């Protein structure tokens, strides 16, 4: 039993996830009620996430404002996330153009008008506006808190409540991930083409590895001056496993916050950077959804794509990923991206339906796990990077981490 207690919690989480995938894949129809219940529960949780964002973000804004760092941090974080999303989308264009048959001749029609038409979907059933609204309200509350003592005391209680809930969440997480694994196993077993699905999974994995390597090199190694090995061991793996299990940046938010703080990221910075990142920073999705179009058209449908379609879709998909927060595949950017490319390619009727359906089927499950894990951990990398620039000495001294970890992290950031 002593040996079992020494096994890290994220190892148990990974094991339970694998068991769930096997049970879901083997059980098939008999496991569908479990999968349906899990999806309903996760959907219900996601509807409460705007409240969670407010609870995590508003105290952080208040503390940053009181230390005079709020304006600089907010501007720097938003600019960084915008820049990384733009670069990720461009990287998707470049990588896919090297791997697949990309023609230079443009398609006919007003492509920009088609791209702009897609923006109207942001006000649809995706729920993209609620987390963004929660961020705006949290920022306003944080700005007012240092001038309104009762509001500040309320926000302090919110922050303390999240800290108390984290240990409980860690204990029940393997069981939750077991049910998520069953759900993913059921969905994967229903795929129309295992060969294409495995190819898409491998393709997504390689895209994520490339982006993670670049992000770690720039944000962690060059800018944060951190040991990549230590960041991978102490932050990345436990966070990535849980993010992969939830397939939602929003559902991963509490665990992401806690793991970043355990590594030594400043609590005030983390509580600002990571919630915002869960809403506006889906740069891996921007990379993947630009790169998916040539894969699906060339490998699945044996039709070449044009540079014009990719370059027009690139900025539109970047906007979608910024405005579509952490929703599971098929509920957000996957649907918008496939519809956009179908319009750019001039597909209509049954051809359009088949293209979009194939896109959604291939991009869900394991590929979604890889994208979500990369998106979430890049938020944490960003928090670690900005902690070096904006760390408050007082908050680090009082951060709820063990003394050894706090001293280690302080030496790392200094």
Amino acid 187: pLDDT: 60
- What is the Cα Rg of the chain in Å? 21
Identify the residue whose tokens are 């940046």: 249
Closest CA to 275 of 297, 245, 253: 253
Identify the residue whose tokens are 């951060």: 399
Which neighbouring-strand residues pair with 306? 103
Tokens encoding 261? 């703080």
In angstroms, the CA 320 to CA 313 distance is: 10
Strands 102-103 and 305-306, bridge-based pairing: parallel
Q: Looking at residue 396, which CATH number applies to its domain?
A: 1.10.3860.10
In angstroms, the CA 175 to CA 180 distance is: 9
DSSP 184-242: HHHHHHT-S-HHHHHHHHHHHHHHHHHHHHHHIIIIIIIIS---HHHHIIIIIHHHHHH
- Are the C-beta atoms of 249 and 375 separated by less than 8 Å? yes
Quick check: is 192 in a domain?
A: yes
Which neighbouring-strand residues pair with 102? 305
Which helix (H) or strand (E) covers residue 57, if one does? helix 32-66
In angstroms, the CA 407 to CA 378 distance is: 24
Quick check: is 1 in a domain?
A: no
Find the domain containing 278 and state its range: 11-413
Quick check: is 295 in a domain?
A: yes
Domains identified in the chain, total number: 1
**Tens digit of pLDDT at every position of the chain (414 positions):** 556 666 656 567 667 867 777 787 777 778 888 878 876 776 666 567 677 767 777 776 776 666 565 667 777 888 898 899 999 999 998 888 888 877 665 445 454 554 455 445 444 444 445 666 777 788 788 888 878 888 888 887 877 776 676 666 667 767 876 886 677 667 655 444 467 778 888 999 999 999 999 999 998 888 888 888 889 988 999 899 888 877 777 778 888 998 998 888 888 888 888 988 887 788 898 899 999 989 988 888 877 777 777 877 888 788 777 755 444 444 557 777 887 787 777 777 777 777 877 787 778 777 888 998 999 999 999 999 998 877 544 444 444 444 343 334 433 433
Quick check: is 344 in a domain?
A: yes
In angstroms, the CA 223 to CA 193 distance is: 43
Quick check: is 88 in a domain?
A: yes
Quick check: is 240 in a domain?
A: yes
pTM assigned to the model: 0.67
pLDDT tens per residue, range 24-78: 777 777 888 887 887 677 666 656 767 776 777 777 677 666 656 566 777 788 8
pLDDT tens per residue, range 160-175: 776 676 666 667 767 8
Quick check: is 3 in a domain?
A: no
Quick check: is 230 in a domain?
A: yes
């Amino acid at each position: 039993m002593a040996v079992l207690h020494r096994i890290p919690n994220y190892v148990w989480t990974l094991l339970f996830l694998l068991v769930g995938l096997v049970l879901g894949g083997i059980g098939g129809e008999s496991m569908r009620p479990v999968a349906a219940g899990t999806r309903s529960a996760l959907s219900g949780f996601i509807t409460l996430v705007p409240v969670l964002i407010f609870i995590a973000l508003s105290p952080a804004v208040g503390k940053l404002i009181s230390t005079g760092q709020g304006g600089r941090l907010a501007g720097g974080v938003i600019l960084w996330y915008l820049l990384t999303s733009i670069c990720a989308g461009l990287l998707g264009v470049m990588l896919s153009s090297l791997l697949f048959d990309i023609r230079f001749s443009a398609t006919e029609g007003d492509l920009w008008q088609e791209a702009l038409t897609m923006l109207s979907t942001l006000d649809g059933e995706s729920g993209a506006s609620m987390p963004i609204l929660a961020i705006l309200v949290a920022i306003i509350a944080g700005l007012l808190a240092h001038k309104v003592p009762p509001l500040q005391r309320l926000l302090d209680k919110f922050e303390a409540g999240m800290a108390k809930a984290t240990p409980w969440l860690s204990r029940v997480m393997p069981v939750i991930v077991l049910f998520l694994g069953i759900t993913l196993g059921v969905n994967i077993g229903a795929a129309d083409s295992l060969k294409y699905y495995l190819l898409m999974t491998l393709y997504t994995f390689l895209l994520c590895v490339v982006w993670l390597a670049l992000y770690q090199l720039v944000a962690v190694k060059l800018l944060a001056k951190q040991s990549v090995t230590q960041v991978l061991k102490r932050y990345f793996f436990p966070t990535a496993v849980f993010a992969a299990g939830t397939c939602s940046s929003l559902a991963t938010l509490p665990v992401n916050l806690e793991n970043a703080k355990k590594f030594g990221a400043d609590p005030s910075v983390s509580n600002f950077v990571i919630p915002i990142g869960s809403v506006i920073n889906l740069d891996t999705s921007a990379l993947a959804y630009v790169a998916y179009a040539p894969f699906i058209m060339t490998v699945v449908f044996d039709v070449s794509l044009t540079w014009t379609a990719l370059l027009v879709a690139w900025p539109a998909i970047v906007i979608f990923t910024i405005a579509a927060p952490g929703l599971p595949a098929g509920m957000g950017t996957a649907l918008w991206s496939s519809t956009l490319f179908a319009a750019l390619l001039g597909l209509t009727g049954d051809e359009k339906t088949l293209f979009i359906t194939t896109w959604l089927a291939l991009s869900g499950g394991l590929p979604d796990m890889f994208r979500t894990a990369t998106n979430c951990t890049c938020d944490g990398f960003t928090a670690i990077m900005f902690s070096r620039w904006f760390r408050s000495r007082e908050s680090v001294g009082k951060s709820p981490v063990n003394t050894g970890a706090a001293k280690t992290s302080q030496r790392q950031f200094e």
